[in-house]
Amino acid sequence: MAELKDVKGIGPKSLFLLEKMGITTIDDLVMHYPFRYELLKRGNLEETKDGEQIIIDGKVESMPILMRFKSNLNKMNFRLLTQNGGVGISIFNRAFLKSHLTVGTTITVIGKLDKKKNIITASDIKFEGLTSKVKIEPVYHLTNGITNKNIHNYINMAMLMFSKEIFDYIPEYIQKEYNFPNKKTSLNIIHNPSTADKLKQVTKRLKYEELFAFMFKINYLKNERKKNNKGIRKEVDREELNKLIKKIPFELTNDQNKAVDDILKDLEKDYRMNRLLQGDVGSGKTIVSFIAMYANYLAGFQSALMAPTEILATQHYNNLRELLKETDINVELLIGSTPKKEKERIHKELEEGTINMVIGTHALIQEEVNYNNLGLVITDEQHRFGVNQRENLKNKGITPDILYMSATPIPRTYALTLYGDMDMSIIKEKPKGRKKIKTYVKSNDEIKDVLQMMYDELESNHQIYVIAPLIEEGEGKTDLQSVMNLKDQMMLAFGKKYKIDIIHGKMAGGAKELIMQEFLQNNIQILISTTVIEVGVDVKNATTMVIFDANRFGLSTLHQLRGRVGRGEDESKCILISKVDTKRLEIMEQTEDGFVISEEDLKLRGHGDLFGTKQSGDMEFKIANLKEDYKILLKARDDSKEYLENKDYDKDEIKKKLIKGIIGS
Ligand code: ADP
Ligand code: MG
């Protein structure tokens, strides 16, 4: 297999920079698609506006003057005579073109026009003259140190040198059926389009390929599940269960009751439950899962609940302990930071069956964890886990019932496509007595008002979350707020009277947990954090959230973050501070409906945030867009199913490779 470093032109420095962009293989490189195109039309000096891109023909009118700067930089200036008069051309780092630019030569210049100075800063010069009237320029995501031109050259070079190694995932008969161009041609066109029509055609084809591979995986897992969908018929002592439900300090909403009912029915069938419990942030999914665990316990089985973060796992653990405190049920917490000895004890007791319920993180699916009679597996915030991870936990039991929980409002049609045979329970109704979360969008010069609002909240004995995009200043962009910097500022403003602390992803699990406990007990009044706080954390007395550089986050992320407040009976506030882009944020002032917000997000940002904020790599697409490409998705779903299930294709290289990608080698 050829490697990135084998591509001509890629040296150690570019290799490092590419890696920073997540490009580590030739496949990654050639599938680093342009995120947009610039349509460049032949222009003339009169019609082109100041600062605009221009492509213009002309004759070299003066000998280029070359200036060299240190570290290999150089700049060349000359005059170009065009149809509408002369213009100065300046171009960087093309000293090697000098000898070709003799006076009188006809060239085409591509660049940006500065009307006042009458200069074009050129990005490229072509000698043979462009054939068509328009040029479509691909525009790539970049990192500091790599130009658009660099990456474009690397991609073209890689395609030239290693086209044989680029794997095509669309089976030949399907290519024929849809009249798709082959992969090599498609890649070539997507990076070097000559016409919009061709571009459209190959874009569709590459999207199809991506969705085909994705749906193949979904279908494969679905089939595996079906092969093994006989579950255990459980007998739940409803009377005992109701006793526990009566002890809950609030009344369940109708939707919660309905969800509990759905789950109980599933447990009592000899079919294996495979259910998604969906409900917006704060809708009260956790208690439903606890009731399910208790029912499963009453039927005589162990339960496991997996959460995406240690903070969340610990919180669930504490809440479940509280709910079950008058019983002799043995509940344990198993997370990465659990001490080794403790872990070993828990492993042993899970295997012996003396632990009835276990709550944890990924630690629950480590190989050395075995269960005695695992009957129910629940994953919270399920979109945060990869498909394979979820499968792993499932396979720990013989045929445990499965419950997934998600706050991400996935439209039902998508859910059906992506999860297929999964049943759904939806909690729409918010618990009674919830007040609206008042949301304010503020600009940076309104900080004084914000501090006043914070002060008022603190004086009424409430607690505050403060969120920043960075941990420390200088991580890349320096103009963004950081946790460390805000800590200093908050200390100055409130430090005399109130306790302030921080939490972020780089802290050890145990330290994070300690801080959360302190915050929960109101020993900390202002908690400054990155988005680690994002999922699930529940502190009722925290009524205010202040988010700095809010424009840096997707709307769905903001919605999830905001869901941390408004959990108790007191009125809550969310303040979004932003230097720019405040218009986009206004939707947050208008609605608290996660569904509406995610739709809006989708409209504004395209794909990416549909399945929540930090979804697993499974659902990140390079080119497809689940919303826009729904029709292609449906085709890919049916075609991949047919391909998967037709034994004639079992020896196919593509099929083998796809399956290997799912189950690992
Ligand atoms: P999510 O669905 O986001 O996981 P949680 O389960 O964390 O939401 O619930 C949010 C808060 O609402 C918790 O403090 C929980 O105790 C509380 N809660 C849940 N159901 C009800 C209810 N029916 N009435 C009042 N409070 C409830
Ligand atoms: Mg939750």
Give me ligand 2 centre to Cα 159, in Å.
Answer: 46
- Mean pLDDT of the region 246-268: 96
- CB 384 within 8 Å of CB 297: no
Q: In the predicted model, is pLDDT for residue 320 greater than 60?
A: yes
The larger pLDDT score, comparing residue 266 to residue 557, is at 266
**H-run or E-run covering 651:** none
Question: Does the beta carbon of 285 sit less than 6 angstroms from any atom of ligand 1?
Answer: yes
Q: What is the structure's pLDDT at 423? A: 83
Q: What is the structure's pLDDT at 610? A: 40
Give me ligand 2 centre to Cα 591, in Å.
Answer: 20
The winner for highest mean pLDDT among 116-120, 305-309, 336-340 is: 116-120
- CB 165 within 8 Å of CB 183: no
> What is the rounded CA–CA span in Å between residue 240 and residue 628?
49
- Mean pLDDT of the region 229-256: 93
The overall average pLDDT reported for the chain is 87
Q: In the predicted model, is pLDDT for residue 607 greater than 70?
A: no
Q: Whose CA is nearest to atom 22 of ligand 1?
A: 431
- Mean pLDDT of the region 368-387: 79
Q: How many CA atoms lie within 13 A of 326 on its CB side?
A: 4
Q: What is the structure's pLDDT at 560? A: 85
Q: In the predicted model, is pLDDT for residue 464 greater than 90?
A: yes
- Mean pLDDT of the region 583-593: 88
**H-run or E-run covering 613:** none
Question: Does the beta carbon of 559 sit less than 6 angstroms from any atom of ligand 1?
Answer: no
Pocket mutation for ligand 1, best pick of 257, 280, 537, 538 (most atoms within 8 Å of C-beta): 538
Question: Does the beta carbon of 314 sit less than 6 angstroms from any atom of ligand 1?
Answer: no
Q: What is the structure's pLDDT at 451? A: 96
CA angle 282, 396, 298 (to 5 degrees): 65
Question: Does the beta carbon of 556 sit less than 6 angstroms from any atom of ligand 1?
Answer: no
Give me ligand 2 centre to Cα 413, in Å.
Answer: 23
Question: Does the beta carbon of 428 sit less than 6 angstroms from any atom of ligand 1?
Answer: no
Q: In the predicted model, is pLDDT for residue 389 greater than 60?
A: no
Question: Does the beta carbon of 217 sit less than 6 angstroms from any atom of ligand 1?
Answer: no
Give me ligand 2 centre to Cα 282, in Å.
Answer: 7
Model pLDDT for residues 31-45, shown as the tens digit of each residue? 999 988 877 778 889
Q: Which residues pair with 296 in a beta bridge?
A: none
What secondary structure does DSSP assign to 28-83, as a single string?
Answer: HHHT---SEEEEEEB--TTTSPTT-EEEEEEEE-S--EEEE-STT-EEEEEEEEET
- Percent of the chain scoring above 70 in pLDDT: 89
- Mean pLDDT of the region 218-247: 87
User: Residues with beta carbon < 5 A to ion ligand 2?
Assistant: 536
Q: What is the structure's pLDDT at 382? A: 64
**H-run or E-run covering 252:** none
Give me ligand 2 centre to Cα 287, in Å.
Answer: 9
Q: Is 632 helix (H, G, I), strand (E, B) or coil?
A: helix
Torsion of CA 24, 27, 29, 33, to 10 degrees: -130
Phi, psi dihedrals of residue 314, rounded to the nearest 5°: -65, -40
Give me ligand 1 centre to Cα 567, in Å.
Answer: 7
Joined together, the tokens standing for residue 364 give 């629950």
Pocket mutation for ligand 1, best pick of 245, 248, 250 (most atoms within 8 Å of C-beta): 250
Q: In the predicted model, is pLDDT for residue 421 greater than 70?
A: no
Q: What is the structure's pLDDT at 534? A: 62
Joined together, the tokens standing for residue 471 give 């941990």
Q: What is the structure's pLDDT at 615? A: 37
- The DSSP 8-state label assigned to residue 13 in this structure reads H
Q: How many CA atoms lie within 13 A of 136 on its CB side?
A: 16
The ligand placed nearest to the CA atom of residue 289 is 1
Pocket mutation for ligand 1, best pick of 567, 569, 570 (most atoms within 8 Å of C-beta): 567
Task: Name the packing angle between helices 594-605 and 582-590 (round to 10°).
Answer: 160
pLDDT-based confidence at residue 2 (cuts at 50, 70, 90): confident
Q: In the predicted model, is pLDDT for residue 584 greater than 90?
A: no
How far apart, in Å, are the Cα atoms of 595 and each of 279, 379, 380, 415? 10, 21, 19, 14
Q: In the predicted model, is pLDDT for residue 253 greater than 50?
A: yes
Q: Whose CA is nearest to atom 19 of ligand 1?
A: 284
Question: Does the beta carbon of 561 sit less than 6 angstroms from any atom of ligand 1?
Answer: no
The ligand placed nearest to the CA atom of residue 285 is 1
Q: Locate the ligand 1 atom nearest the alpha carbon of residue 319 and give its number.
A: 16
Pocket mutation for ligand 1, best pick of 254, 258, 287, 319 (most atoms within 8 Å of C-beta): 287
- CB 572 within 8 Å of CB 544: yes
- CB 20 within 8 Å of CB 141: no
Question: Does the beta carbon of 79 sit less than 6 angstroms from any atom of ligand 1?
Answer: no
What secondary structure does DSSP assign to 200-213, as a single string?
Answer: HHHHHHHHHHHHHH
Q: How many residues does the chain have?
A: 665
Give me ligand 1 centre to Cα 283, in Å.
Answer: 6
- Mean pLDDT of the region 78-103: 92
Q: Locate the ligand 1 atom nearest the alpha carbon of residue 279 and give its number.
A: 2
Q: In the predicted model, is pLDDT for residue 143 greater than 90?
A: no
Question: Does the beta carbon of 281 sit less than 6 angstroms from any atom of ligand 1?
Answer: yes
Q: Whose CA is nearest to atom 17 of ligand 1?
A: 284
Give me ligand 2 centre to Cα 382, in Å.
Answer: 10
Whole-model pTM over 0.85: no
Give me ligand 1 centre to Cα 538, in Å.
Answer: 9
Please give the domain boundaries of the chain with CATH numbers for all domains: 238-427 (3.40.50.300), 438-591+593-619 (3.40.50.300)
Residues 6+ apart with CB under 8 A from 488: none
- Percent of the chain scoring above 90 in pLDDT: 54
Q: Locate the ligand 1 atom nearest the alpha carbon of residue 288 and give its number.
A: 6
Question: Does the beta carbon of 296 sit less than 6 angstroms from any atom of ligand 1?
Answer: no
Give the range among 321-335, 353-367, 377-391, 650-664 with minimum mean pLDDT: 377-391
Torsion of CA 98, 99, 105, 110, to 10 degrees: -30
Q: In the predicted model, is pLDDT for residue 147 greater than 80?
A: yes
Give me ligand 2 centre to Cα 586, in Å.
Answer: 26
Q: What is the structure's pLDDT at 517? A: 85
The ligand placed nearest to the CA atom of residue 379 is 2
Q: Whose CA is nearest to atom 5 of ligand 1?
A: 284
Question: Does the beta carbon of 31 sit less than 6 angstroms from any atom of ligand 1?
Answer: no
- Mean pLDDT of the region 499-518: 86
**Which of 543, 628, 548 shows the shortest CA–CA distance to 585?**
548
